[in-house]
Amino acid sequence: MQDVKSYTRIVNGQPVHLAELGRPHRQIALLIHGWSSSWYAMSPLMGALAQRFRVIAVDLPGYGESPPLSKRTTIPAYVDLLADLLVDLTGDPVILVGHSMGGMISLTLALRYPALVERMVLISPTISGRLSSYINMVVSPITVLERFGLGSLLVSVFERAVVGLTDRIMRPASFADRSGITSEEHKRLQSDVRRPGQGRVRAECFFAMRANNLSGRLDNVQVPALVLWGAEDNTVPLRDAGIVADEWPEADLRILPKAGHWPQFERDDTTRRQVAAYLGLPRFSDDLTTSIEDGEWARIRETAQFLAHSTLGDELNVAQRMRLAAQCRQLDLEPRKALVRTGEVGDELFIVQSGTIEVWSSSTPGQAADLLATFGPGKTVGEFALLEVGRRTADLIAGLDGAVVLGLTQSRLLALCEDDAVLGSQLLWNFARAVGRRARLINEQRQRILDKRDTDPSPRATRPLLSPEPEPVPQRKLDMEPVR
Same domain, 325 and 271: no
Same domain, 280 and 324: no
Residue 211 placed within a domain: yes
Same domain, 266 and 346: no
Q: Do β-strands 371-375 and 14-21 pair in parallel, antiparallel, or remain unpaired?
A: unpaired
pLDDT at 154: 53
Residue 484 placed within a domain: no
What torsion do the CA atoms of 392, 397, 403, 409 make, to the nearest 10 degrees?
10
Q: How far is CA 205 from CA 9, 16, 198, 211, 407, in A?
A: 22, 17, 11, 10, 52
Which helix (DSSP H) or strand (DSSP E) does residue 475 occupy?
none
Which helix (DSSP H) or strand (DSSP E) does residue 324 occupy?
helix 318-326
Same domain, 27 and 88: yes
Same domain, 327 and 453: yes
pLDDT at 1: 54
Same domain, 398 and 274: no
CATH number for 272: 3.40.50.1820
Same domain, 98 and 218: yes
Backbone angles phi, psi at 429, to 5 degrees: -65, -45
Which helix (DSSP H) or strand (DSSP E) does residue 174 occupy?
helix 165-174
Listed as ranges, residues in the chain with pLDDT below 50 are 157-165, 460-484
Helix (H/G/I), strand (E/B), else coil: 399 = strand
Same domain, 127 and 202: yes
Residue 51 placed within a domain: yes
Residue 83 placed within a domain: yes
Same domain, 397 and 252: no
Of 269, 287, 305, which residue constitutes the final position of a domain?
287
Distinct helix (H) and strand (E) counts, the chain: 17, 14
pLDDT at 321: 93
Same domain, 324 and 256: no
Residue 151 placed within a domain: no
Same domain, 320 and 429: yes
What pairs with residue 405 in β-bridges?
331, 352
Helix (H/G/I), strand (E/B), else coil: 96 = strand
Domain residue limits at 320: 294-462
* Beta-carbon contacts of residue 16 (< 8 Å; ≥ 6 apart): 8, 9, 10, 58, 59, 61, 66, 81, 85
Q: How many domains does the chain have?
A: 2
pLDDT at 312: 87
Residue 478 placed within a domain: no
Same domain, 356 and 414: yes
Q: At what angle do helices 268-279 and 410-419 cross, to 10 degrees?
A: 110
